Amino acid sequence: MTYRILAKLQAGRKSRISLSAPNVSMIGGLFVWPLLCFFLATARFKSPEPYVQLPTSSGSGCLKMPEGRLGIISIDKQKRLYFSFDEPYQSEIIKRVAARRRVRFTATQLAELDKMPFLFMDVRQLPWYLSLSLLKRNNITLLGIPSRLDNDVDDQLAECIAAAQSALHDKNGLYPFFSIRADANLEFHEVQRVFTLLQKHNVNRINLATIMEEKDSALLF
């Protein structure tokens, strides 16, 4: 399969994402999982998202997914993991994961936390990071979220998923949807590990972000 980036997110601008079922040549192994279902969805990715070279796809979808409760797990070509969620939930999710580690934020840091487009580091480092100037932040290397997927004993990615579920349930009794943005150069088993992690949290509607062939729109399924 040839992978091409046909659409780029612009900084400071949200892009409309149309969703449909892609070509399954890259992900045929997913269909052996009886609990995994695919559906059409419309959502807005935060901008900017971590850079990921998405695979191309073609096809049409089926069911429409509601907006406002979408979590996005991104995996770049270095296998680093990132997490984002629709507001107003993202900040609450991060604060819940941080509270488990007795991490506290000042009022100024909380204001900066609300501006973060996605979580890209150990939550224990956030107070330090949020106190830096924007210039210094731009020089920080993003290491990704600690996870047992990377043999880290501190599984903050799993806690983000669980915190998203509890935050939505506590607020309005709803459940979240999740999408995976995986770099096209990754081996399939790297993506499959994230699918398995989501299923362990009883998440059985999972989208995979792709770029539609010959069109300037990104897809999820």
Rg (CA), the chain: 17
Q: Nearest Cα to 93, choosing from 81, 83, 82?
A: 83
Say whether pLDDT at 31 is over 90. no
CA distance 37 to 40: 10
Least confident stretch, 11-20, 80-89, 107-116, 173-182:
11-20
- Find tokens 């488990």 and name the residue: 100
- Judge residue 146's burial from the number of C-beta atoms within 10 Å of its C-beta, 0-12 exposed, 13-18 middle, 19 or more buried: buried
**pLDDT at position 151, please?**
66
The tens digit of pLDDT for each residue in 187-217 reads 999 999 999 999 999 998 888 887 754 344 3
What's the pLDDT score for residue 152? 64
87: tokens are 């507001």
pLDDT one-digit tens code per residue, 72-117: 999 999 999 999 999 899 999 999 999 999 999 999 999 999 999 9
Range with the lowest mean pLDDT among 42-51, 127-136, 166-175? 42-51
Report residue 178's pLDDT band, with 50, 70 and 90 as the boundaries.
Answer: very high
